[in-house]
Amino acid sequence: METARLVAELVEKYRGGPAPLVQVGDPVLRRVAETVDGQVDDDLLRELVEIMFATMRDAPGVGVAAPQIGIPLRIAVLGDPAEVAAEVAQARGRRPLAEFTIINPEYAADGPEIAFYEGCLSMPGYQAVVHRPESVTATYEDLDGVRHTERFTGWPARIFQHETDHLAGAIYIDKAETRSLATNDNYTQHWAQPTPERAAAALDFPLP
């Protein structure tokens, strides 16, 4: 099985540490990832997840999907210390999110759309405004095979959507207001306010 071989090779090479992040343009980021259904044994799957967490922390980031390290499986890891200014945290609904693993995740919107800048570890150096539902009802399995249904709101909902989209072959820029696209330096210089209203007015893109 090709996927099992890829996982075994990656784990053998990067066991205990981070793996390189796949960058935009690599076809694995545009494939619909395979449902996790016994392709890989439990011990190997846990080792893969450990590498994904190490990769996320090393970047650093708030989530990594398996395709971002070259593995076309429906797995992602999430976690956010939310170390941002209180004004930003309040405006964006950003709160600490304990690290956890999502396997075969799905989500459905259950709230209005809201727009904020976001970026991606597989497209470094840039940020753009993305409209996303403010809250979602999410379903996923954990590493023990237990199915969860959970409602996420604010920034945790954005992280869940962003990482789950990777598993469908989608990158945040597909949903972004392209007129908002900025280098990290220009974002910091011009648009690093808690909300993107100023950027929308100056760059002429719509907000919900």
Which 3 state secondary structure label does DSSP give 70? coil
| Pair 94, 135: CB distance under 8 Å | no
CB 104 within 8 Å of CB 146: no
| Choice among 34, 47, 118, 163 that is catalytic | 163
175 in Cβ contact with 131 (< 8 Å): yes
Question: How far apart are the C-alpha atoms of 177 and 181, rounded to whole Å?
Answer: 7
Residue pair 3/39 in contact (Cβ under 8 Å)? The answer is: yes
Give catalytic status of residue 163 as yes or no.
Answer: yes
CA–CA gap between residue 121 and residue 193 (Å, rounded)? 21
Helix (H) or strand (E) holding 51: helix 42-58
Active site amino acids: 163
